Structure 1
Amino acid sequence: MAVVEELSEARALLGELVSSASRAIVFTGAGISTESGIPDFRSPGGIWSRMEPIYFDDFLASEEARLEDWRRRFEMRKLFAEAVPNAAHRAIAGLVDSGIVSDVITQNIDGLHQRSGVPQERVIELHGNATSAACLDCGHGMGFDDAEALIEREARAPRCGICGGLVKARVINFGQAMPIDEMERAERAVRDCDLFLAIGSSLVVYPAAGFPLAAKAHGATLVIVNRDPTDQDDAADHVLRGSIGAMFEPLTVS
């Protein structure tokens, strides 16, 4: 493992690695979005240090938990709407457009990769997306404005207009099963890549955090780009530490 903290050196190495890759995968966590003004979940001062997560079983069992979950989603919607994709998001979108990056696997729920220009079909959202909702029973979609109106009118969490099931934001809560299709897509992408860029992730949340090590086991060069050390640094071929946006800025395609 080689740790690079000097910005110009990190930029140069990142450029070399990307230009020599034939099929790269990008894997992102909350750290890529903090520079867009979205706080992360696990660092000191992050979201989970200020409030306890709502578990999926609690959402199913408790109307109070459902209403609190929705209250948080509405707050996040405002935060996400005000956020703007940063240089790292834009650089990744350019790499996808150029064909160097085949897929973007993300733990984030903010939709900033899509807003930066990455096509939806190239984004694999392991933990869902906080910008839309769906019925847990039949899968019928519901917009946040409609959900908010139902809560105000009925004083309870929204129910599906088709089957009457509970409607929930398309976010994977603690204790909720990971999305099968997305996990399978990520596994296929990992098997086929020759460069795996893990960006802005603490790499502690499994099963998502298993993908960098799986890519390494399949022969890919593993690069970790993060502000702070991670538990997987020793397994990486290269570790780049510092501002993620600053490191990726020279790769940005305008």
Structure 2
Amino acid sequence: MKIAALTGAGVSKASGVPTFVEMGDLREKLSRSYYNSHPIEFYQILNGMRTVTEAANPNPAHIALAIKHIPIVTMNIDGLHHKAGSTEEEVIEIHGSLRKVYCPKCSKWYPFSVTEESIKCSKCIDVILQPDIVLYGDSIPRLQDSINLVSNVDLLLVIGTSFYTSTATYVSEAAKNAGVRVEIINENAEELVPKLLANNDS
């Protein structure tokens, strides 16, 4: 049986990464408008998030998906699927990641950590660096790649998502429309995902 996974913030909850619901008004501050109007505060927020995610370790759900080489579409920017051992080819980070930033003028890439010192391109001086994440109000560059992935499996595991974002709805509905069975796991993913994958081996 071909299995894929669509993961949201809930899959990382057992790793100590707060969900957006738990972080109050964070959604409003991860918007294109907030980035444009408050870039310094925006990067302070993201660097705070990066501190949390870099300290976090993958939990049994991430690890089980990696061990089974399950292709994943993740809405998370925490990088925990990669930490668990899933490869670049196995994971579509549909909302990007906190690993890199780039200059929208000269296209130079930097590690995200440079924004702790300066949020401007060292080459273009006055140009504010762009995070490699999809903000609220942005289009989703890898949406079609994600739809193609989940539409060509037998079972899609939707793990830890509240369906608050349109991304989760688009991707899961595309799978359903393609005749894929969709199973939703929103609680105790760290226990249920390894069990489900083990059962599919038997």
Shared topology, TM-score over 0.5? Answer: yes
User: By how many angstroms is 1:120 displaced?
Assistant: 1.1
Q: 1:207 to 1:249 in 2, by over 3 A?
A: closer
2:24 is matched with which residue?
Answer: 48
C-alpha distance in 2, partners of 1:139/1:105?
26
User: By how many angstroms is 1:138 displaced?
Assistant: 4.1
1:38 is matched with which residue?
Answer: 17
Which deviations, in whole Å up to 9, do the C-alpha atoms of 1:103-154 show, x marking residues without a partner?
Answer: 20011000000010000121111111022211234432111332322x2xxx
Give the 3-state SS of the residue equivalent to 2:166 in structure 1: coil
- Is 1:88 aligned to residue 56 of structure 2? no
Pairwise CA RMSD:
2.0
Count of aligned pairs between the two proteins: 197
Structure 2 residue runs of 5 or longer lacking an equivalent are: none
Amino acid at match of 1:79: V
- Is 1:76 aligned to residue 49 of structure 2? yes
C-alpha distance in 2, partners of 1:121/1:51?
28
C-alpha distance in 1, partners of 2:134/2:178?
28
C-alpha distance in 2, partners of 1:87/1:70?
30
2:163 is matched with which residue?
Answer: 203
Q: Report sequence identity in percent.
A: 28
User: By how many angstroms is 1:184 displaced?
Assistant: 2.2
1:136 is matched with which residue?
Answer: 104
- Identify which of 123, 128, 134 aligns with 1:161: 123
Which deviations, in whole Å up to 9, do the C-alpha atoms of 1:153-188 show, x marking residues without a partner?
Answer: xxxx32252686321221211112212xx2121121
Q: Is the 8 A contact 1:160 1:167 kept in 2?
A: no
| Segment of structure 1 superposing worse, 109-118 or 183-192 | 183-192
Q: 1:213 to 1:78 in 2, by over 3 A?
A: same
- Is 1:188 aligned to residue 188 of structure 2? no
C-alpha distance in 1, partners of 2:6/2:193?
14
C-alpha distance in 2, partners of 1:192/1:50?
34
Amino acid at match of 1:47: M
1:107 is matched with which residue?
Answer: 75
1:223 is matched with which residue?
Answer: 183
2:189 is matched with which residue?
Answer: 244
Q: Is the 8 A contact 2:5 2:157 kept in 1?
A: yes
TM-score scaled by length of structure 2: 0.88
- Identify which of 126, 135, 146 aligns with 2:114: 146
1:171 is matched with which residue?
Answer: 133
Amino acid at match of 2:17: I
User: By how many angstroms is 1:57 displaced?
Assistant: 3.0
C-alpha distance in 2, partners of 1:218/1:50?
34
1:59 is matched with which residue?
Answer: 35
C-alpha distance in 1, partners of 2:97/2:89?
14
TM-score scaled by length of structure 1: 0.71
Structure 1 residue runs of 5 or longer lacking an equivalent are: 1-20, 152-156, 228-242
Q: Is the 8 A contact 1:126 1:208 kept in 2?
A: no
User: By how many angstroms is 1:84 displaced?
Assistant: 0.4
- Identify which of 27, 38, 60 aligns with 2:6: 27
Instruction: Pick the structure with greater CA Rg.
Output: 1
